[in-house]
Structure 1
C-alpha cells in the first residue's frame, strides 16, 4: 500500500512539474476545454513568435483597460525583440518623472527600464471608466486563476448568447466559462482582423486568443523553461543515483539469503 502511495505521489509530482493541468470546472459545472499549448508537458517551451503576437494583442486590445505593473519594457527582450524595438515600444508612452531641479513632476517618453504603463491613474479611476468594475492586473493572471492558460483561453472565447430563460443584468455579458456566467467585460477579441499582425499571420479570433494567452503565460512564468529543464536534469540524476544505489545494495548483500 505504501508503495502505491509513493508511486501516486511521484506521478502527481511529475505532472505538476510538467505544468499539467487537470480538467477543472468553470462557472457552474462547465469543464474547461484542454487547449494544448506549446508550453504544456514536461518538455514544453514558449512559442516566442506567438508570444510576440500576443504582446501586440495585449498592447492594441487589452492595455486600454488592464495593467501589467510587474513587467518592465526591457523584459520584452526575452521574447526575442531587439533593444531598438524595445526602446521604440517604451517611447510610445509618456510617464511622469521627477521631481526636476525646480521640484516639479514632468512627463517624459518611456524608457526600457520603466514598468508597463497602467491605463488608469488609480483603482477609482479604473472603476469609474468601467461602470464600477475593476479590470484586474494581468501580470500573473494565468497563475491567479484556477485552470491557468486553459481558463484564460476559454474565457476569451466563451462569450455567447444566454440560454433561453436566462436573464442577463444590465451592463453584463453572458460567458459560458465565467463563474456565474455573467461578466462585466465585453468580449475584447471579437472579430477577425481586429489586430493586423506585423509578421503577416492571419488574425483570426482563435489565433489572437491563443497568442495573447501564450504571452500572458510567459509574463506570469518567464522561468518556466528553465524550471522544466532543471526538473529533467533532476529526474535523470535521481534515476542514475537510484540505479547505482540498487547495484551497490546487490553487491554488498549478494551473499545474504
Structure 2
C-alpha cells in the first residue's frame, strides 16, 4: 500500500512539474560594441544628443525619468555640455530645451495649478499625474521609470537595445492576448499560451508596450539615418549615461589612481632595496 502511495505521489509531481520544466528563457541579447564600454570607454556626445531626442519625442509620452533634471543635460560629460558654461544652469541650449516642455506649478497668488515652461532647475516631468493614471492609460501595466533602467537590468545596454529592436510576429500556435506583443528578448513563460510541442516553447515573453520605434519616426539634427536600429542604439546610450552620468570621471579617476599606485609600488621597491642592501637576510 505504501509503495502505491509513493508511486502516485511521484506521478503527481511529474505531472505538475511539466509546465515548469517547459518554462523558457528569453533570447540572449545582441552583444554590441558600445563606445562607453571598457576601462577607457567614453560616451559619444552626438549619440547622446540623438538619444535624448528619441527619449523626448518617443519614450517620454509613457516613461518618466524622475531622477533627471534638465540641468543634468549640460553638466560635464552630458550630451549638451559646453565648457563656456561650467554651471549647467547657465547653458542657453539647455535652457531652450527645457523651455520647450510644460511643467505643472502652483500660482503663488491664487494657489491654482498652472502650467509653465520648464527651467534648467526642473525635473523631467512625468507623463502621468499618478500611478493609477499611468496604469489606466497602459492597459493596467505600469511603464517603468527609465532613470536607472540600464543599471536595473542584467546586461543593461544590450538588453534594452534587443528589446527595442526585437519585436517579432508570434510563431504559429502561440496565442497572444489583445494589448500584448511577442518579443523573444523579453522575459516570460509562454508555456500556457503555446499549443505546440511543450518541449519547443518559443523563447521570450509578452510585453504590454507596442513597438515604440519606427523608421523615420525621429529626425536627427546631424543627419544620421533614422532607422529603428539607430534610434535604439542612441536612446540606449542616452539611458546608459542617465544611469551613470559620472562614468567618465570615475574611469579617469580610476586610471589616475592605478598609475599612482604603480609608481608608488616602484618607489617602495627601490627604497626597500636601498635600505636593506647591506643587511644580511
**TM-score, with normalisation over the residues of structure 1?**
0.83
Distance across 2 between alignment mates of 1:224 and 1:212: 17
Q: Which has the larger radius of gyration?
A: 2
Q: Tell me the equivalent position of 1:5.
A: none
Q: Tell me the equivalent position of 1:92.
A: 100
Partner of 1:30, secondary structure, is: coil
1:73 maps to 2:66: no
Q: Tell me the equivalent position of 1:111.
A: 119
**CA positional deviation for 1:249:** 3.1
Q: Tell me the equivalent position of 2:194.
A: none
Distance across 1 between alignment mates of 2:81 and 2:56: 15
Alignment of 1:119-134 (within 5 A): 119-134=127-142
Does the CA-based 8 Å contact 2:26-2:187 persist in structure 1? no
Q: Which residue among 194, 208, 232 is the counterpart of 1:184?
A: 208
**CA positional deviation for 1:99:** 4.2
1:37 maps to 2:34: yes
Distance across 2 between alignment mates of 1:200 and 1:155: 25
Distance across 1 between alignment mates of 2:67 and 2:280: 61
Distance across 2 between alignment mates of 1:43 and 1:81: 20
Q: Tell me the equivalent position of 1:239.
A: 262
Does the CA-based 8 Å contact 1:100-1:106 persist in structure 2? no
Question: Which moved further from structure 2: 139-148 or 218-227?
Answer: 139-148
**TM-score, with normalisation over the residues of structure 2?**
0.77
Structure 1: state its 5+ residue gaps.
1-26
Change (3 A) 1:60 1:167: same
Does the CA-based 8 Å contact 1:92-1:109 persist in structure 2? yes
**CA positional deviation for 1:230:** 0.6
Q: Which residue among 218, 226, 230 is the counterpart of 2:241?
A: 218
Change (3 A) 1:248 1:179: same
Q: Tell me the equivalent position of 1:24.
A: none
Distance across 2 between alignment mates of 1:29 and 1:121: 33
Structure 2: state its 5+ residue gaps.
1-23, 83-90, 189-204
Distance across 2 between alignment mates of 1:160 and 1:242: 55
1:195 maps to 2:192: no
Does the CA-based 8 Å contact 2:141-2:208 persist in structure 1? yes
**CA positional deviation for 1:228:** 0.3
1:159 maps to 2:167: yes
Change (3 A) 1:45 1:104: same
Question: Which moved further from structure 2: 162-171 or 149-158?
Answer: 162-171
Distance across 2 between alignment mates of 1:104 and 1:62: 29
Q: What root-mean-square deviation, in Å, do the aligned CA atoms of Structure 1 and Structure 2 show?
A: 1.8
**CA positional deviation for 1:251:** 3.4
Distance across 2 between alignment mates of 1:29 and 1:139: 24
**CA positional deviation for 1:175:** 1.0
Question: Which moved further from structure 2: 95-104 or 233-242?
Answer: 95-104
Does the CA-based 8 Å contact 1:63-1:119 persist in structure 2? yes
